[in-house]
Chain A
Amino acid sequence: MFAVAAVGILVSMTLALARAFLGPTVYDRILAANTFGTKTVVLLAAIGFLTGRPDWIDLSLIYALINFIGTIAALKLFEFGTLAHTRGRDRE
Chain B
Amino acid sequence: MDDCPILRVGAKIMIPTILLFGLYVQFHGEYGPGGGFQAGVIVTSAFILYALIYGLDSTRRVIPPFVPRAAAVLGVLIFAGTGLASLLAGGRFLDYDVFAGSPQKGQHWGIFTVELGVFVAVFGVMLGVFYAFVGRGRPQ
Contact = CB atoms under 8 A, between A and B. Distances in A.
Q: How large is the interface on B (under 10, 10 to 19, 20 to 34, 35 or more residues)?
A: 20 to 34
Interface string A56-92: 1011011001101100110010000011111110000
B64 interface: no
A73 B52 contact: yes
Contacts of A88: 2-3
A85 B58 CA distance: 10
B2 A83 contact: no
29 contacts: A55-B33, A56-B33, A58-B32, A59-B33, A61-B21, A62-B21, A62-B25, A62-B42, A65-B17, A65-B18, A65-B42, A68-B14, A69-B49, A69-B52, A72-B53, A76-B1, A82-B134, A83-B51, A83-B56, A83-B134, A84-B55, A84-B56, A84-B134, A84-B135, A86-B54, A86-B56, A87-B2, A87-B55, A88-B3
Contacts of A68: 14, 49
Contacts of B106: none
Nearest to A72: B52
Contact of A66 (B2, B45, B53, B58): B45
A86 B33 contact: no
Given A58-B32, A58-B34, A85 B25 contact: no
Contacts of A61: 21
A84 B134 CA distance: 6
B126 to A, nearest CB: 12
Contacts of A69: 45, 48-49, 52
A59 to B, nearest CB: 6
Given A69-B48, A72-B52, A85-B56, 8 more contacts: A59-B33, A62-B38, A68-B14, A76-B1, A82-B134, A86-B2, A87-B55, A88-B2
B61 interface: no
Contacts of A82: 134
Contacts of A85: 55-56
A8 to B, nearest CB: 25
Given A58-B33, A59-B33, A86 B55 contact: yes
A87 B56 CA distance: 11
